[in-house]
Structure 1
């Protein structure tokens, strides 16, 4: 009996491991929350730089709440960037200065880990200062990321860094469904959407030898295609190639019996985790998603099981 139980446990473990190694995806209409297709969408796994979606949201929300102009506030690159791995395309060094706006462009478009850490350190320190506290700005910022996760029902997500290059032990995780929720919330923010839809951006770093300029290109190769607004790419060995993308169509307009017009906005969010051909996979899922959406609307937009069919994303802030 004991042997049979151990075999069953081994089989279940293997099944879970296989699911984590394979692709996960979700296709959802952002305004209605209607899910059109998904696979392995609630399996916890690393999400690499899709983490930076939360970093961007926290920063934009903080700027809105405090009336801060991100282009007019300079952040100092902290010493802790020296412990961050990955590329350093802008050769950021401790003590360099960069506007929060430019650092956010570098983090969200170019997926720059050091820029993301610089943003988190500055905003986190400002949050601590506003509360009359001192401490680790990055840690305070990551706490805010996790508080946001709770507020918008990211029930299977944990953030441990602002950039997604997580430590091997105790790393962050999320799911395709939670990334879809986060993306829906993020794309409600005009300041966030404006950034992620840019193909490239010129940024400036003030260093010891003077200013340095860089052209930061968007790592999302789908930007520029019709209707594409963002959102973010990510890749690590643990997570594989990942992508969240938003696609808009013109709103549906119909006349109501009282003569007024009803306007229905249309936006699909596609999240693809761990697919080496993530961009083409997302294109295919978008085509299928819009076809499914059109059929759904033509049938009267029926909902049979709201809990299973609708992805609920609150708007707490």
Structure 2
């Protein structure tokens, strides 16, 4: 009887082990990731500019983009970078020398448009007045004053400009001149210019200069009032900015807007520019800002969606056995939202940093932190390591079956030995009983 019971238990254990893949298949089917449903953005702004971008100043999120990584000529928006280098190299009260190369610059310049070509090399101008001439009036000569006084010559200053641009993340730009007058090798992108604008606005001296509607400066004992060429400054949320135009660059504009306490960077490149009174680039800027402030995020990946796999280490028998690695799905436990645009569509990703926890401990606490990232922005999101007891069993099926078989054999042998010993004891007892009866 005992022998039959042991054999039945062994057969049942073996059957359960062999059929466990069925339960694992059922688990996988019930946990398959649902597909991502993309929704298309509507009501994109209708603008003349060939390249444009808006970015949340605080989070770095790109909200709107149009051909934002294409090579474009920046014209006088170049002076944002020139002004930043001035602010980082000089103090407001420092005296700068007016230079020969500055005097050679065409309109618009302080020398030609205000001083009737009377400025001479060696004339002194304060750094603050040069900054105002650079950013408000957009004087071509002021940019050369800065270049010569900081680096000694324009070529050396261009090297400094390009080094600074790379530090700011403007990696697809090349600067040749400090004022942005056309050169085929002088270019940027809408994205790169947004990074330069961000740094310029973060600099107190440059920011407060761009925020001025008008300001006085002194040249050769003459007091001049400069007016800001950012024509919509103070309107529709326009806090600060820099204009630019050449025939090759078209109308260019870099701004920071603020509405309801939220600040956005806006870039418009190669818009229409008929003359200085043409408002097309300003209208383009208002249009992309109206769109961006109204924009709502869409679902990038949904709650429950698989976003990759994780390799988790463990031992088959919890505390002993060979160390193994199992690949398990990582699933979101929340919706991940983003601003739908070309850059975010191509560069968004969700990453799992990994864990030191074993597969066994993750059975009881599957929650984990993931990172959603796209260009210039990242945030933490929640997910889970989608592991089950069934997946561990399936991964170790041969080991577990072998172990069960081995244990069953051992148990059977022990039972047989015990049974044989018991039979031997009964035989001996019967033998002694018969012997005792014969003696009587």
In the superposition, the TM-score normalised over structure 2's length comes to 0.54
Q: Which residue pairs with 1:296 in the alignment? A: 297
Q: Residue 97 of structure 2: which of 72, 76, 85 is its match? A: 76
Q: Residue 177 of structure 2: which of 147, 157, 161 is its match? A: 161
Q: Which runs of 5+ in 1 are unaligned?
A: 1-20, 64-68, 125-135, 252-265
Q: Is the 8 A contact 2:236 2:286 kept in 1?
A: no
5 Å-filtered alignment, 1:148-297, equals 148-167=164-183, 170-206=184-220, 211-251=221-261, 266-276=262-272, 277-292=280-295, 295-296=296-297
- Per-residue deviation, 1:79: 0.7
Q: Equivalents in 1 of 2:246, 2:232: separation in Å?
A: 20
Q: Equivalents in 2 of 1:230, 1:298: separation in Å?
A: 33
Higher CA-based Rg: 2
Q: Is the 8 A contact 2:229 2:243 kept in 1?
A: yes
CA deviation map 1:2-23 (0-9, x unaligned) = xxxxxxxxxxxxxxxxxxx961
Give the match's secondary structure for 1:101. helix
- Per-residue deviation, 1:222: 1.4
5 Å-filtered alignment, 1:62-101, equals 62-63=89-90, 69-70=91-92, 72-88=93-109, 89-91=113-115, 92-101=119-128
Q: Is the 8 A contact 1:25 1:39 kept in 2?
A: yes
Q: Equivalents in 1 of 2:133, 2:238: separation in Å?
A: 19
- Per-residue deviation, 1:225: 1.6
- Per-residue deviation, 1:297: 10
Q: Provide the aligned C-alpha RMSD in A.
A: 2.5
5 Å-filtered alignment, 1:83-162, equals 83-88=104-109, 89-91=113-115, 92-124=119-151, 136-162=152-178
Q: Which residue pairs with 1:12 in the alignment? A: none
Q: Equivalents in 1 of 2:205, 2:199: separation in Å?
A: 12
In the superposition, the TM-score normalised over structure 1's length comes to 0.74
CA deviation map 1:9-39 (0-9, x unaligned) = xxxxxxxxxxxx9611111111111111111
Q: Does 1:34 align with 2:30?
A: no
Change (3 A) 1:249 1:298: farther
Q: Is the 8 A contact 1:75 1:98 kept in 2?
A: yes
Q: Equivalents in 1 of 2:346, 2:204: separation in Å?
A: 28
